[in-house]
Amino acid sequence: MCSPNHIYKYITLSLLITASVAKSQDLLTLEDVIQITIENNFDINIAKNNLQVAKNNNNIGLVGGGQSTGGTVVGGTTGMLPQISIGAGSPQNPMGFGRTTSTLKYSDPKSNVNGQTLNSVSYAPSIVATWYFFDGLKMFATKKKLNRAEELSDLQYRLAVENTLLTALTTYYQMISIKQFIKSLNTSLVLGADQKKLADEKLKAGVGSAVDVLQTQIDYNNILVQITQQENLLNEQRVSLNTILKRPQDVEFTVPDTIIVQTKPEYISALYNTEKNNNSILIGRKTLEIDGLALKEFRANSMPKIGLTGNYTYQHFSNDIGFVRLSQSSGYNGGFIFSWTILNNLATRTAIRNQKMQVASDNLRLQASELLEKSNLYKAYLSFQNNLKIIDLAKQNVQLSNQSLYIAAQRFKQGLSNYIEYRTVKLAFETAEYQLSQAAYNTKLSELNFLKAQGLLVH
């Protein structure tokens, strides 16, 4: 029938058939997946926008020195920067001109005034500057909180990249696993066609069985069904990956047919990396820092506020009739301002108590996050170890089943066995190939989760 080398020729032939189809499609490499995911994915772009918002907010213009509930100040009297305003008129005293018509009746009709018109011009522009240079050190706590908020948004962005990239790579390697299995099915298809031809020849020579002919055709068709099913799964994964990459669903591409494991499961160093780099843990720690700074803001609200203020005002008022035809004045003043809220319905006291509870709650969340992420690391570590053992056994099974298939093929050709025996060995070969492709995928998935728990999936 065919030697192991001959079987390898069949495998090479199936690879050439696959390669001819792949030429019409672009090869999507691992580097392409990472780059396109980071550049295009919707969730990552949203997280990037949130990071930019945090950067925009982190400026001294949003650092407040007035009374607040401890949140980010977005207006009011500022602390690190003075507040300067220019005014020129109000709804009660607008800047511009006016006209008043008066009718007056007296006991002496000769003194009556009928429809007297009074024209006037008035304007009073002013400039006012106010700066609280002491607000119980709240402004410094607020600025630090804005710094930490920006750092928190950066960690959240990294976590969004990490989660999305894990989804993209999981889909990508699932495609490689399916393609690897399709490759082994194509090899079985070539071998099945050869067995079908041999069964026909033996039947014509009078040494075969019609049952073998029918069974070889059934097995050949079953392989075609499996290939079609796997190609359908491959197409589904392709559409899913295109969606993650924010590309049209009908973009055709191919992937490599080999999964490469690049790291080793080392637990001690991995545990250190998790405590140092895991983004979920770092987010919890950063949130706790922000809570502490917010508590300082609340406490600062119970302190007095000291500042400087100054203004310059110019007023002009004129009438075309009357005793005073023109009133004009200008001048400036400046000095210290002081305020201290002694009692505000216990709002500050309540806010401080509530913030302490928030600190306690976020501390518990941090502990839960640390426990969860270390558990995820340990599970990924154990899975990684076991899958490496499984993949070694799967490789051995492929080699052994390949040798068994050669022996069974020789026995069937020489008439020493029937097709049922050969078919049993052939099914074992196909199972070994499938288990190898799944073992490679599971091992790579364990590696990805192992790296993610350490915060090393994104560099």
pLDDT: is 90 or 133 the higher one?
A: 133
Whether 392 and 297 map to the same domain: the answer is yes
Q: Which residues share a beta bridge with 317?
A: 122, 327
Angstrom distance (rounded) from CA 119 to CA 121: 7
For the beta carbon of residue 85, count every other beta carbon within 10 angstroms: 10
pLDDT value of position 4? 42
For 339-397, write each residue's pLDDT tens digit.
888 888 888 899 999 999 999 999 999 999 999 999 999 999 999 999 999 999 999 99
For 162-180, write each residue's pLDDT tens digit.
999 999 999 999 999 999 9
Residue 147 falls inside a structural domain: yes
CATH of the domain at 425: 1.20.1600.10
Residue 415 falls inside a structural domain: yes
Pick the last residue of a domain from 319, 339, 359: 339
Whether 326 and 374 map to the same domain: the answer is no
Whether 171 and 311 map to the same domain: the answer is no
Whether 215 and 189 map to the same domain: the answer is yes
3-state DSSP assignment of residue 325? coil
pLDDT value of position 76? 38
Residue 69 falls inside a structural domain: no
Lowest mean pLDDT among 31-35, 87-91, 117-121, 233-237: 87-91
For 21-53, write each residue's pLDDT tens digit.
444 568 999 999 999 999 999 999 999 999 999
Q: What percent of the chain is modeled with pLDDT above 90?
A: 49
pLDDT value of position 177? 95
Tokens representing residue 48 in the block: 């990037």
281 pLDDT higher than 50: yes
Residue numbers of the domain that contains 328: 81-134+305-339
Whether 155 and 128 map to the same domain: the answer is no
Angstrom distance (rounded) from CA 32 to CA 139: 46
pLDDT: is 126 or 231 the higher one?
A: 231
Whether 358 and 283 map to the same domain: the answer is yes
3-state DSSP assignment of residue 209? coil
- Nearby residues of 97 by Cβ (< 8 Å), 6 or more positions away: 119, 120, 121, 122
274 pLDDT higher than 90: yes
Angstrom distance (rounded) from CA 45 to CA 42: 5
Please tell me the total count of domains within the chain.
2
284 pLDDT higher than 50: yes
- Written as one string, the DSSP assignment of 223-289 is HHHHHHHHHHHHHHHHHHHHHHTT--TT--EE--S---------HHHHHHHHHHH-HHHHHHHHHHH
Residue 17 falls inside a structural domain: yes
Lowest mean pLDDT among 1-5, 114-118, 300-304: 1-5
Whether 211 and 321 map to the same domain: the answer is no
Angstrom distance (rounded) from CA 226 to CA 192: 13
pLDDT value of position 9? 41
Segment 116-136 shows an average pLDDT of 80
For 201-221, write each residue's pLDDT tens digit.
888 888 778 888 888 899 999
Residue 315 falls inside a structural domain: yes
Residue 34 falls inside a structural domain: yes
338 pLDDT higher than 60: yes
Whether 288 and 335 map to the same domain: the answer is no
For 67-97, write each residue's pLDDT tens digit.
333 333 333 344 677 888 888 766 656 666 6
- CA geometry: angle 153, 300, 149, nearest 5 deg: 5
Pick the last residue of a domain from 293, 315, 339: 339
- Nearby residues of 95 by Cβ (< 8 Å), 6 or more positions away: 88, 89, 122, 123, 124, 125
When the pLDDT of each residue in the chain is averaged and rounded to a whole number, the result is 84
pLDDT value of position 388? 95
pLDDT: is 111 or 260 the higher one?
A: 260
pLDDT value of position 385? 96
* 331, 385 Cβ separation under 8 angstroms: no
Residue 119 falls inside a structural domain: yes
Whether 325 and 370 map to the same domain: the answer is no
Residue 96 falls inside a structural domain: yes
Whether 245 and 322 map to the same domain: the answer is no
* 133, 105 Cβ separation under 8 angstroms: no
Whether 155 and 46 map to the same domain: the answer is yes
411 pLDDT higher than 60: yes
Angstrom distance (rounded) from CA 291 to CA 123: 49
- Written as one string, the DSSP assignment of 58-116 is -SGGG-B-S--SSS---SSSBSSS-EEEEEE--SSS-SEEEEEEEEE--SSGGG-EEEE
Segment 117-145 shows an average pLDDT of 83
Whether 428 and 414 map to the same domain: the answer is yes
Angstrom distance (rounded) from CA 425 to CA 404: 7
